[in-house]
Each structure stands twice: as C-alpha cells, then as structure tokens.
Amino acid sequence: MPSIERRAIAPYLFFLPALLLFLAFSVYPFYLLTHTSLFEWDGISPAKTFIGLSNYWNVLAHDRVFWTSFSQAGTITLLALVLQNALALLLAIAVNRRLAGGTLYRTVFFLPPILSEIVVGLIWFWIYDGNFGILNEALSHLGLARFARAWLADPNTALTAVAIIHMWKGFGWGFVIFLAGLQTIPEQLYEAARVDGASAWLRFRHITLPLLVPVCVVVSILTILGTMQIFALIIATTGGGPGYHTEVPITRIFHSMLGTSRFGYACAQGIVFGLILLVFSLAQMRFQRRVS
C-alpha cells in the first residue's frame, strides 16, 4: 500500500476500536430495543408475536397512567429546576465569597449527592412517617399538630414530599458546577463595577448572571435529564403510590417489564420516553446556542 494511502487510513484505524465498542454497546442495544418494541413478548418465551406498532399505539392512545407519570415527573423537574437550582446558586454565591470554613461548607453541601438514593429514601421515610415521624413530632411540638399527616401516603403531599427529597439530594451537583462557574468570572469586572457605584444586586444582574448563562444551561440540562429519570428514590419511598400519585416514567417502564412481563411494551415506552427527552435536550442546546 502506498505511504500516502496508509497515512490516510491510519486515523480511521485509530478510532475503529471506539467505533466497535459504540456499535456493540450503544447501537446494537438500541436496535434490539426498537426491534423488541414491535413484538409482544414476555421476556422468557422463545416465541415473540409481531404486532407492528400496536405497542406504540397503546402507549400513545390508551396508557393514561404512563402520561400521568410523565406529568408527575415534569412537576418534580419543574420544582427541581426552580427551587433546587436557586438554592444551589445561592449557596455557591455565598461560599464563593471566601467565608470562613468554606471548604467545610463545600463538603457538607456535596454530601447528599454521594449518598445512595435508597439510603436517602429510607432516611426521609423515617422523617415523613405518619405514625412516629420526626416531621410530625416537630409539628406537634410547635403547636401545629393539625398539619401532621402521613406525608408520603397523602395524595395531596406525596409528590411534593418526594420532590423535596430529590431536591435535597440533588442540589449539591448544581452547587459544585455553579461554584466552578463563579470562580471563572474575573474579579476585575466586579471591581470596575464597584468603582462605578454598582450595587450588589446590579453586579449580580449585569455581571454574574450573564456570565453564568452557559453554566445555567448545563445545570438545567443535567437537572431535567436527571430528574425525569428519577427511579430509585421513588422505589425506596412510595413505590409509585399511593395509587398512581408518585409514578414516574421509569417506574412504569420497570413495572411493564418485570411487574407484568410485557417486554415489548416496556421497550416501546422506553423509546417514547427517550425521544421526548431527546427533544428536550435538543431544544435546550438550541437555546444555549442562541443565548451564546
């Protein structure tokens, strides 16, 4: 082979192993997922029944619970986007001011994300317990016993209660990313603004916030993708109940696959779910480009 041709091929040979891994562990499973979604299959039987797009039709047209689970995951996501990220930003700004014990705060704020979701779920289950829960005890001591309830079993509070746990566990990620973003903003900009007499709010509004937009977009994408895929926390606290009040898409997919042995249907649910997340991500990336 002539030397020039060899040199032309060489770069492709270098990425061939990565390509093979990508095909084996991403493309092929996705093909299998799509293929299975066209069949009625219990996950064990040797025979599958081809049913075309029926699974998709049933997901889109008949599965009210699946769409309810979407809106519930959306509610948790919205709460996380606003409250969790606002808290993360606030704490990041506070720690960025070189407070005494800043390292300690960083460690403490980053503790919840590294805890197992199951452990976090169990801890909060004890807090929320309707019979001997810490929260109800605290309310009683404050003379607010009339507000005591089984927080995770009450349809009016269950979803919010789960969302609070999720936000508590998740704000540390946003905190770390926001803090990193804040530390990249040149100090001279603030000094110049101070010289010009800008108040703290104006400095935040006109320096910090615009320069943090790319970081905000990243944190938002991570929050949306992470929250929409919430699963272990739900399993550890409510299992999707009471009724269907804390069901989210992944618990429904899990239930279809292992609870009712409908593998084909679960695959169709997974693909619909994945496509919707993809649309969200693309929209956000476009938004980021526009803002940038």
Q: Given the rule CB under 8 A, which residues bind other proteins?
A: 6-7, 10, 13-14, 16-17, 20-21, 24, 39-40, 42-51, 54, 58, 62, 125, 129-132, 149-155, 158, 237-239, 241-244, 255, 258-261
Report in angstroms how near the CB of residue 18 gets to other proteins at its nearest. 9
Cβ–Cβ contacts within 10 Å for residue 184, how many?
A: 10
C-beta of 50 vs 200, nearer to other proteins: 50
C-beta of 261 vs 284, nearer to other proteins: 261
If we measure between CA atoms, which residue out of 186, 231, 221, 230 comes closest to residue 207?
A: 186
Report in angstroms how near the CB of residue 225 gets to other proteins at its nearest. 23
C-alpha 186/C-alpha 222 separation (Å) is 25
C-beta of 41 vs 171, nearer to other proteins: 41
User: SS3 for 241?
Assistant: coil
Report in angstroms how near the CB of residue 255 gets to other proteins at its nearest. 7
Residue with tokens 């476009």: 286
Report in angstroms how near the CB of residue 271 gets to other proteins at its nearest. 19
Report in angstroms how near the CB of residue 287 gets to other proteins at its nearest. 38
Q: How distant, in Å, are the alpha carbons of 111, 114, 127, 171, 206 from that of 108?
A: 5, 11, 20, 11, 30
C-beta of 208 vs 269, nearer to other proteins: 269
C-beta of 84 vs 136, nearer to other proteins: 136
Do 231 and 250 form a contact (C-beta atoms < 8 A)? Answer: yes
Q: In angstroms, how far is CA 253 from the centroid of its own chain?
A: 16
